[in-house]
Structures are given as structure tokens and as C-alpha cells.
């Protein structure tokens, strides 16, 4: 046996074979090798622990490797791991659809399963375009918000705001009319725009209350309700993308719970399974569902994925939902919301901080750079490394620092994060 063979680290092996998401592989630091997750913490090969205050890209609700979800998925794995969902069904899918629909606005009556947030959006867009097609109406335009983010597949990119993310594909994206997010001043103007376009527009897609990937930009529920009301009056279908805002993030179960108007379609993923398994859901009204019922086979929604309604993912969603609805989790969400709002007061006074914003468990602010916007990305990376050194995972979006913690984070852990934010703000050199 050759005892002098150098052990190759996980990082080196990773670099040799893996291509990471949203990563410039030429300049990126080596990926941190994680071997274990427990509650709010992730542990690397050296035993160093990291406080995951971004819920691993906004998905983890109850902490990592939650024993209850693990137990339920394990039992399901030994019972039925997968079955084709065309022509077949199973208890976890039926049970989860029943449970979810009870919690959504009563406009939501049917559930379509897919694999992630982007596919949930694709399904929603196809439902709206084919709704018009099946009714023999020529409506192919789509309304969306500037700065929107709805995913990375082609349809989802088309309805996302134009940026350097979508630039290489711009000529291949379909026609979308982008409007401003609503505020007290521009509502009348938005109403006018919607009136003029109404005849050609199939649907309006939006992230309710928070535009996450754009930098946690927030706008008011009453203004969105107004805008939704204009769409309703003009017969424009509404797709509410709750992929990020769903399952307690905003302090209520869904952003829908802040609104007086009801959407026609809703999209879910991220927190849907508590962050344990990939799954997406598109729900819709019976009005939409009924437009696909026909003796004519061409009116079928010809869409599906190999793993549609995977029983393990549905079971994870069932278990996560049970945990979410417990008093304990609801109290945790309220506690985080309250603690955030206290911190917001102190934070707002800091000279390097502007535009502090919060809804529920989501807290964000802009880091004042004094430099031009071209520095934002550099600053984001520097801040990311500063936090990482202190054992905190934060992924600033440019110069926007935000917290989206799992609900199991304790008051002490939150205070630890707040304290580190202040220290970094106090000592940061551009
Ligand atoms: C993350 C996100 C998506 C895309 O979800 P993926 O699972 O990453 O494809 C869609 N919409 C919103 C609002 C999101 O935040």
C-alpha cells in the first residue's frame, strides 16, 4: 500500500467535476465542503460551523435535517418512493393538495405538481396562454413587473426583468410588457396602461409584496390589491408567484393573506417541503381548470415532468406543513418578526445603512457605499467573506444585505447575527 499518496480534498475533487450555479468558476473561491446540517447550523469537513441565516437559498424552514421530516420521508421511502402521476395517484399527493387548498384563498381549487419554482411558473404561464387559446381568444402578451424574478428557464426568464442574467438570451425571449410596482402616486397611471393593453394581455405575473432576487424590494399590500382589482376588471388572469413569500416568510402563511383581491393562479416551491426535497406547485381556479375540459384532445394541458408529485417530496411537504402550523413555529415566526422590528430601529440610525425594510421574517437594507454602482458586486463579495469568517452565511445581493432565517433560529442566535452586522458596518473599509 502506498502510504504517501496525498489525500485529495473534497474541494479539489469538486473543482475537477462540478459546475456550480451562479458562479464564475474561474475566479470563485473553492466551495466550502459541508458534511452535516443540524438545525440552524451547517458543518464543514474541518468541523467549523456556519449559521445559515439565508435558509440555504430561502428554502429551509425548520432547520437542517429535521428529525420529524426525515422520519416521515424514511417511512414513505420504504412504502412507495415514486409512481407515474399520469393515470395513477397516491395518498401523499391527495392529502397535501387537500391540506394546501384549505389554506389558500378560495379562488384556488386545483393543484398541478412539478419540480421547482421555475417549472411552477412555466406551468402557470402555459395555463394562461392555453386558457385563451382554448377559448379561441387572441391574447398572447404578458404583464410583469420591472425587476421581477421568476426563475431561470426560458419562460420564467422572459417574465423576469431584463438584466445581465438574461442578456445572452434576450433575442429568444417572448414578448412581455414590464410595468412599475404600484405606489400611491402611480396607481392611476398603471390603471391606464392596463386598460390600453387589456385586449391583448393573457395574464399578469408578480411577486407579491417582496421582489426577492431584485434585492428584497418591498411594496404595499393595499397598492397591489388595487392593481389586482384593475386586472380583474379588465379580464386579465393573475399569477401570484409565492415561490419565495409562501409558507410564513412574510409573517403570515402566504402573502395572499395580506391582500383583499384573489389571484387566479398561485406558484409555490422553496419552503414548500421545508427545504428538504425539490418540488413545485401551481394552483388554479376552477374557471381555468374548466377551460381545459373538452372532448377535444387538443385542449389538454400537455405538460408534465418525470417526477411529478413524487411521493417522497409530497410527504416532506406534508410533514413540513404540520410543523409550520404548530403553535411553536407560529410563535417563532412572531418572535423573529418582533425581534427584527426592534433591530430595524437601531439599524436605521447607522450612517452606512439606508432603506431598511422588513416584512415578517424578511429583513433587508442597503449598504451605503459612497462609490458608483459598479462597485456593488465587489462590495457584496467582501461582505460575504466578512460574514463567512465570523461563521455566518449571508449572500448580499450587490450592496443589499438581507436576513431570511429558518424559523428555528433562537433569540440569542439572531442577536449574534445582528451584533456581527453592526460590527461589520462599523469597521468595514471600502
Ligand atoms: C427562486 C424563485 C423562483 C425560481 O425557483 P427555482 O426553484 O429556483 O427554479 C421563482 N420565483 C420566485 C419569486 C423565486 O424567488
DSSP state of 18: -
Mean pLDDT of 62-69: 98
Report the alpha-carbon distance of residue 206 to residue 217 in Å, rounded.
Answer: 13
Question: Is 57 annotated for ligand binding?
Answer: yes
Q: What distance in angstroms lies between residue 6's CA and the mean position of ligand 1's atoms?
A: 41
- Region 226-244: mean pLDDT is 98
Residue 71 predicted with pLDDT over 90: yes
Q: Is the pLDDT of residue 18 over 70?
A: yes
CA of 294 to the centre of ligand 1 (A): 32
Q: Are 148 and 160 in contact (CB under 8 A)?
A: yes
The pLDDT, as a whole number, for residue 78 is: 98
Parts of the chain belonging to CATH 3.40.640.10? 70-324
The answer to whether 251 is annotated as binding is: no
Q: Is 150 annotated as a binding residue?
A: no
Atom of ligand 1 nearest to the CA of 211: 13
For the segment 219-242, the average pLDDT, to the nearest whole number, is 98
Read off the C-alpha cell for 426.
Answer: 462599523
The conformational region for residue 391 under phi > 0 = left, psi -120 to 50 = alpha, else beta, is: left
- Respond yes or no: is residue 162 known to be catalytic: no
What is the CB-side half-sphere exposure of residue 160 using CA atoms within 13 A?
24
10-65+327-427 fold: 3.90.1150
Regarding the beta carbon of 145 and ligand 1, being less than 6 Å apart is answered: no
What's the pLDDT score for residue 31? 96
Is the pLDDT at 373 greater than 70, yes or no?
no
Query: What is residue 372's predicted lDDT score, i.e. its pLDDT?
Result: 55
Note the pLDDT of residue 97: 98
Q: How far apart are CA 266 and CA 14, in angstroms?
A: 37
375 pLDDT band, cuts 50/70/90, is low
Q: Is 15 helix (H, G, I), strand (E, B) or coil?
A: helix
Q: What is the average pLDDT across 144-151?
A: 98
The atom of ligand 1 lying closest to the CA of 156 is 10
pLDDT of 430? 75
**Could you tell me the three cell numbers for 308?**
411529478
Ranges for all domains in the chain classified under CATH 3.90.1150.10 = 10-65+327-427
> Does domain 70-324 bear CATH number 3.90.1150.10?
no
Is there a catalytic annotation at residue 289?
no
Pocket test for ligand 1, best of 117, 215, 280 (most atoms within 8 A of CB): 117
Q: Is residue 130 within 8 Å of 301, Cβ to Cβ?
A: yes
- C-alpha grid cell, residue 44: 464543514
Known catalytic residue: 149? yes
Q: Tell me if 430 is assigned to a ligand binding site.
A: no
Q: Which atom of ligand 1 is nearest to the CA of 116?
A: 7
Could you tell me how many residues make up the chain? 430
Q: State the Cα–Cα distance between residues 221 and 226, nearest whole angstrom.
A: 9
Residue tagged 389571484 (cell numbers): 263
Split at pLDDT 50, 70, 90, the class of 83 is: very high
Report phi then psi at 130, rounded to 5.
-75, -25
Overall pTM > 0.95: yes
Cα 273 to averaged position of ligand 1 atoms, centre (Å): 14
What pLDDT score does 4 carry?
58
Residue found by looking up cell 415561490 in the block: 243
Amino acid at each position: 500500500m502506498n502510504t504517501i499518496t496525498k489525500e485529495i480534498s473534497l474541494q479539489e475533487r469538486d473543482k475537477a467535476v462540478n459546475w456550480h450555479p451562479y458562479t464564475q468558476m474561474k475566479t470563485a473561491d473553492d466551495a466550502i465542503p459541508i458534511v452535516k446540517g443540524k438545525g440552524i447550523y451547517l458543518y464543514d469537513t474541518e468541523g467549523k460551523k456556519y449559521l445559515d441565516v439565508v435558509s440555504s437559498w430561502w428554502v429551509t424552514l425548520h432547520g437542517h435535517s429535521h428529525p420529524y421530516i426525515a422520519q416521515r420521508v424514511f417511512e414513505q421511502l420504504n412504502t412507495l418512493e415514486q409512481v407515474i402521476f399520469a393515470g395513477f395517484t397516491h395518498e401523499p399527493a391527495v392529502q397535501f393538495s387537500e391540506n394546501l387548498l384549505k389554506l389558500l384563498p378560495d379562488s384556488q381549487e386545483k393543484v398541478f405538481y412539478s419540480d421547482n419554482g421555475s417549472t411552477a411558473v412555466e406551468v402557470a404561464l402555459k395555463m394562461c396562454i392555453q386558457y385563451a387559446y382554448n377559448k379561441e381568444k387572441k391574447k398572447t402578451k404578458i404583464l410583469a413587473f420591472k425587476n421581477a424574478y421568476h426563475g431561470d428557464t426560458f419562460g420564467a426568464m422572459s417574465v423576469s426583468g431584463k438584466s445581465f442574467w438574461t442578456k445572452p438570451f434576450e433575442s429568444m425571449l417572448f414578448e412581455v410588457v414590464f410595468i412599475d410596482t404600484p405606489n400611491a402616486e402611480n396607481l392611476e397611471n398603471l390603471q391606464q396602461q392596463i386598460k390600453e393593453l387589456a385586449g391583448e394581455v393573457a395574464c399578469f405575473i408578480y411577486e407579491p409584496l417582496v421582489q426577492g432576487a431584485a434585492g428584497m424590494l418591498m411594496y404595499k399590500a393595499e397598492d397591489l390589491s388595487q392593481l389586482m382589482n384593475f386586472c380583474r376588471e379588465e379580464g386579465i388572469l393573475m399569477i401570484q408567484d409565492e415561490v419565495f413569500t409562501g409558507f410564513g416568510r412574510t409573517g403570515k402563511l402566504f402573502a395572499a393573506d395580506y391582500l383583499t383581491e384573489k389571484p387566479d393562479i398561485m406558484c409555490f416551491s422553496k419552503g414548500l417541503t421545508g427545504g428538504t426535497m425539490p418540488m413545485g406547485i401551481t394552483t388554479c381556479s376552477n374557471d381555468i381548470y374548466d377551460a381545459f375540459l373538452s372532448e377535444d384532445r387538443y385542449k389538454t394541458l400537455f405538460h408534465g415532468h418525470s417526477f411529478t408529485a413524487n411521493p417522497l417530496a409530497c410527504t416532506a411537504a406534508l410533514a413540513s406543513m404540520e410543523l409550520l402550523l404548530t403553535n411553536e413555529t407560529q410563535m417563532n415566526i412572531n418572535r423573529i418578526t418582533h425581534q427584527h422590528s426592534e433591530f430595524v430601529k437601531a439599524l436605521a440610525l447607522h450612517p452606512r445603512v439606508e432603506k431598511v425594510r422588513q416584512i415578517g421574517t424578511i429583513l433587508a437594507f442597503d449598504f451605503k457605499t459612497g462609490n458608483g454602482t459598479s462597485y456593488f458586486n465587489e462590495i457584496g463579495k467582501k461582505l460575504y467573506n466578512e460574514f463567512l469568517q465570523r461563521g455566518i452565511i449571508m449572500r448580499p445581493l450587490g450592496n443589499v444585505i438581507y436576513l431570511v432565517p429558518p424559523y428555528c433560529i433562537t433569540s440569542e442566535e439572531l442577536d449574534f447575527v445582528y451584533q456581527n452586522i453592526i460590527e461589520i458596518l462599523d469597521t468595514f473599509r471600502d
